[in-house]
Amino acid sequence: MHILLKFGLTFWIALQIVFLTADATAEEQGGIKVLASIRPLALLAKDIGQEMVEVESLLPASASPHHYSLKVSDKRKLQNADLVVWVGPQMEGFMESLVRNKPHLPMNLDGEVSHNHSHHHDELLHLWLSLPDVIFFAEKLTKELIILRPEFEASLVTNMAEVKAKFEAMDKRVLDGFGQLSSTKYIAYHDGFDGFVDHNKLEQMAALTDVPEERIGSKSLLKIKESGRNCLCLMAEEGEKEAAARYSKVLGLPLFLVDSLASSDKINTYSEFYWAVSKSFRACFESGKVE
């Protein structure tokens, strides 16, 4: 009896040491360090990983991925990340060489996107605004996180299932809402909403520029003004407000702004971000200005 008690006590102590060691190791490891190029992708990574990930955004919320120059602190973030998520070299060309030797996951990997849209994948740059592509990417991201930390698999799979169900319900709600409108014609200040517009079957009649800060010629502007007679508004990104306001007056169209990079600190999940984008477009289409 004495021997059994002694053995039982020894086994209990050994078991506690194992548990304490495991806890210490997990605490020492912390969450998976995910670095996202833009905040919408950071929100998505957090939705899936929750407490299992430590997520940072590389670009400041107000910065354009088209024209960003990396700082020394940015390169340090890249070095420290366990996984880098980004849109792809067509959008963030400055990152291509830097992630080559890092675990990384671009949204557009060799043209591999959801294909739930009418455009060819190479034509869509702003994939984080296309909900089918976001769901497709989220599933790939979940697999990458599991590879990095297999012990999180059950929780990550559960989170992904919940995220997908929420996104699909929101997608139906947004599509149904746009389907009830008599017109979805608008002009874009810069051609930066393709993912959202394509999936939701909105009617972008023209774009003043292909990329931000591009000069707009008077002939092009006159042509756009003619083609925009039946448009409801001019849509621009938050950071383009000052420049777009001038063209809003020239075109005779009200200006509506879209927070396409989730710069608002009131936005804490990808669902909140996507819903805010949809509300901005609805505000335009419900303004009722048609000449």
- Quick: pLDDT tens for 2-24: 554 454 455 455 545 444 443 43
- Nearest Cα to 66, choosing from 198, 190, 168? 190
Residue 239, pLDDT above cutoff 80: yes
Q: What angle do CA 213, 214, 218 make, to 5 degrees?
A: 125
Q: Are residues 117 and 215 in the same domain?
A: no
Q: Are residue 100 and residue 124 in the same domain, yes or no? A: yes
Q: Is residue 182 part of a domain?
A: yes
Angle between helices 270-285 and 153-179 (to 10 degrees): 10
Quick one: 67 and 139 in the same domain?
yes
Instruction: Say if residue 228 is in the same domain as residue 128.
Output: no
135 within domain boundaries: yes
Residue 126 falls within a domain, yes or no? Answer: yes
Q: What number is the average pLDDT over the span 75-104?
A: 91
What residue numbers bound the domain in which 233 lies? 177-285
* 108 CB-contact burial (10 Å; exposed 0-12 / middle 13-18 / buried 19+): buried
Q: What is the domain-level CATH number for residue 94?
A: 3.40.50.1980
Q: Are residues 190 and 157 in the same domain?
A: no
Which pLDDT value is given to residue 25? 40
Are residues 156 and 220 located together in one domain of the fold? no
User: Residue 133 and residue 69: Cα distance in Å, rounded?
Assistant: 27
Q: Choose between 125 and 242: higher pLDDT.
A: 242
- Shared domain for 158 and 189, answered yes or no, is no
Closest CA to 31 of 4, 3, 6, 50: 50
Which of 107, 166, 169 is closest to 138 using CA atoms? Answer: 107
74, 58 in Cβ contact below 8 A? yes
pLDDT for 10 equals 54
Whether 169 and 206 map to the same domain: the answer is no
Within a domain: 273: yes
DSSP 112: B
Cβ partners under 8 Å of residue 27, min gap 6: none
Same domain, 231 and 272: yes
Q: Is residue 5 part of a domain?
A: no
Give the H/E segment covering residue 150: none
Instruction: Quick: pLDDT tens for 218-229.
Output: 888 888 888 788
Co-location of 237 and 126 in the same domain: no
Inside any domain, residue 18: no
pLDDT for 204: 95
Domain boundary residue among 175, 198, 217?
175
* Separation CA 206–CA 220 (nearest Å): 10
* 3 state SS of 118: coil
CA–CA separation, 101 and 225 (whole Å): 48
What DSSP state is assigned to residue 34? E
Same domain, 110 and 125: yes
Domain count, the chain: 2
Residue partners of 141: CB distance under 8 A and separation at least 6: 44, 45, 48, 85, 105
Query: Angle at CA 274, nearest 5°, toward 270 and 276?
Result: 115
Domain closes at, from 175, 210, 234: 175
Residue 165 has pLDDT above 90, yes or no: yes
Average pLDDT over residues 255-267: 95
pTM confidence score: 0.85
In a domain, 40, yes or no: yes
Q: Looking at the chain, list the stretches that DSSP marks H as alpha helix, in order from N- to C-terminal side.
A: 2-29, 39-49, 72-80, 131-148, 153-179, 194-200, 218-227, 241-251, 270-285
**Domain end point (choices 136, 153, 175):** 175
Q: Provide the percentage of residues in the chain whose pLDDT is more than 70.
A: 82
Distance CA 280, CA 46 (A): 24
Residue 12 maps to a domain: no
181 and 164 housed in the same domain? no
